[in-house]
Structure 1
């Protein structure tokens, strides 16, 4: 028994020795580097580095080139080795780097925009590379700096900025400075750059109109979810033809929202506001949106629901929108099937196999769910020609905070149009037009079309008389239609 036991002990010891000799090369390298790296003996660190180079030269001698590249890339992907290489570089480099990425944690980085605006505005006679831009023919030429590397001084400290793209196409602004100036950079310089960039952007801000791209065109960058152009619609509340009391109420509500950050923080609600615009075609719903954007200086995001495949894509688009914006869904009754009860629609969707389509529940979460708070100072605007077709859950108070009916032209709206088109405050024909407007249904768009001067010789009189003829024709058609409805059927 003792011989058998000693034999087993010998076998176990032999097995232990074999496993010790078969340690992976990564562990050997880590033991030869990590231990002395964090030690205090520089001589030991140097000897271990020499051992590392000896091991690497041995690998290069006995392994083919493609295997060398594979081993090197594998080692570099190990977190501990990446951290060690960064420590070595930081040990010998006197410079520090701060990066501002365009997209940070799936959201647009406003600091990046401010930095880029600040750097682009540093134009003087010493700059070699410039780029010029002109949006309208009547505006002046806009010059911006077009260097990928910009150097400047701040309080005697040299700063070096670089603009480049990462491997995945993401844009980055990188600041390089000497480590001895860390306090100056972090405490005052960066704040100065960001605030100055925001100030320049506010002075030169142009309202943009965004449209969502189909999901099959989306790339890695969040910027590819939307494409944009300059918004140049001239509509204002002063030129908009609608009831004066209603217009004043909308203006007051918008201005209170714009200045209401402290109020929304106090009551614990997301800083957003919903407006439902409804009425017949041609009553000015799109013009109202343009007037809102021009008043508030907010960008417009025109959301096309039919090009979105599912609720997840809807959330992704919402995250990619910026603050100080108006998110618009026009003709919402035509964009999705939003009539009836949600349970019935969900059941129909399951039967038809449309599990990936945008649902009413997804749209409600977009309006006032958790994801609706991914941004501040935003306005949601829905438009429809048929209010009765919409689900009550979609348009209830709290989701659409203000319901605005844009109806047929009133005499007050006509007077605004007469001032805009004919520069008239009073005219002898105004009385007759007022009586006809009370008896007929005509949209502001139709009135404006009749007020446009077609004959320079007749000018205002001819336009007003043409409007009267149009109103009389509409009145006679409406009377005939009512008589047809009252007449008994055959």
Structure 2
């Protein structure tokens, strides 16, 4: 068998020789000789291809082994079986392996040892199988599973499912939330490398979030209902997704809210940068490559691309694009393209997905983008209230009450200040917690802001009085 395989394996080099000979003939022989020789070489080439085909069929017919390939991606969608197999094989015992790979991503983490072998042998109910990671010429990875034909039913009906389920269980036990961001399409390779990620370690939680307790309770209850709503969404005939619009002035905690949501649900975050996407087609490919149990985030959506309500300008730009006037560096992601993914046909491509938009200027967004049913829950993150301040005082100063709280409460009712500004004044200086000093710093900052606001209001009144004489 091996001798026959070696014999037919030389066919490829024979074909290469034919092409070399033809190139040489082109330079030496006259035209009438070239035609005759060309016909002869073509006939020989056809015979070689036929022999190669016969060899392949012959080898496959007599080979007792079966192969199954599991590619990393299926079109532009992730093949979850691939990642589950990778996790399963990585968890196999390392005490018998002769080739190991050690990694320590962070200094405070233990050294992790994994198998570093091209082939891994596994055994299941007496049947031997071999796994091999294969990389094609175009860079696409796949796992190749090889086993004897007599174990076909056992492997296809039971073993493969066992490996996938075990891999998912292992991944669930050690799951680390990840933060993804999209790569430019020039870096994509056959549907892969669209996203890059790092481990997400933001410590935000709803307990430490500076927000009124009643509003936090409303949000967490909604998140729990969504995560447990698979059967409910199926019953009502809607895609299992939910939209949240976070709006408010800068520094009011919109990004922190997203981090708290991800930690609360243990969902991955996909931070979508619209300006790096060329068109709606790329947008669909990116979004369909996201996993379930994820939060797709577009921060400052009013600044990302032109998704405002200026329809006339959009129409004019569309006509310009048709006439070849579009700037090659300018994104052509449209409002309709984004809406189609949020609640159109493409919204069903993926389960248990949350979409979050943030903006500092709600009035700039097209009403079609944020209507109920697309952005199901509108959450206003506003200036710091007394309840939010008490949470910050607990976080930064480990303080539940203080005689100065009353004065701070009255000042917060008079002026508008973001939770981020309040937190900055409460932070310990030189790593030393001085409760009275921190609270007095905050009071001084609030009083200074109040005085500036009063001076500005007085100036406005004088201007109005001045113009009222005319």
- Which TM-score applies when normalising by structure 2? 0.86
C-alpha spacing 1:63/1:255, structure 2 compared with 1 (3 Å): closer
Residues 130 and 214 of structure 1: CA distance in aligned 2, closer, same or farther (over 3 Å): same
> 3-state DSSP class of the match of 2:132?
strand
Report matched runs for 1:132-171 at 5 Å: 132-171=102-141
Report SS of the residue matched to 2:93: coil
State the distance in 1 between where 2:438 and 2:399 align: 12
1:116 equivalent in structure 2: 86
The equivalent residue for 1:269 is 238
Instruction: Report the CA distance shift for 1:446/1:70 in structure 2 as closer, same or farther (over 3 A).
Output: farther
1:81 Cα deviation after fit = 8.0
Post-superposition offset of 1:63:
6.6
Residue in structure 2 matched with residue 46 of structure 1 by the alignment: none
Aligned partner of 2:308 among 339, 342, 358: 339
Describe the SS at the equivalent of 1:442: coil
Gaps of 5+ in 1: 1-52
Q: CA deviation at 1:137?
A: 2.1
In the alignment, the residues of structure 2 paired with residue 118 and residue 166 of structure 1 have an alpha-carbon distance, to the nearest angstrom, of: 22
Residue among 339, 343, 368 paired with 1:393: 368
Tell me what 2:226 maps to.
257
Give the deviation of 1:168 after TM superposition: 1.6
Deviation for aligned residue 1:459: 0.8
Structure 2: runs of 5 or more not aligned: 1-7, 23-39
Task: Go from structure 1 to structure 2 and tell me whether the alpha carbon gap of 1:330 and 1:66 turns closer, same or farther (over 3 Å shift).
Answer: farther
Question: For 1:227 and 1:380, how far apart are their aligned partners in 2?
Answer: 19
Q: Choose from 225, 234, 238 the match for 2:203.
A: 234
Determine the structure 2 residue equivalent to 1:174.
144
Aligned mates of 1:63, 1:480 — CA distance in 2: 91
Q: Is the 8 A contact 1:304 1:329 kept in 2?
A: yes
Which of residues 367, 373, 382 in structure 1 aligns to 2:348? 373
Change (3 A) 1:371 1:433: same
For the 8 Å contact 1:455–1:462, the answer to whether it is kept is no
Secondary structure of the 1:223 match is coil
Aligned match of 2:153: 183
Q: Secondary structure at the match of 2:192?
A: helix
Alignment of 1:80-479 (within 5 A): 87-220=57-190, 222-342=191-311, 344-351=313-320, 353-354=325-326, 357-454=332-429, 459-479=434-454
The alpha carbon displacement at 1:247 in A equals 0.7
CA shift for structure 1 position 106: 2.6
Q: Whose Rg is larger?
A: 1
Query: How far apart in 2 are the matches of 1:169 and 1:255?
Result: 40
Q: In the superposition, relative to structure 1, how do residues 167 and 63 fare at CA in structure 2: closer, same or farther (>3 Å)?
A: closer
Report deviation, 1:258. 0.9
Q: Distance in 1 between matches of 2:192 and 2:43?
A: 37
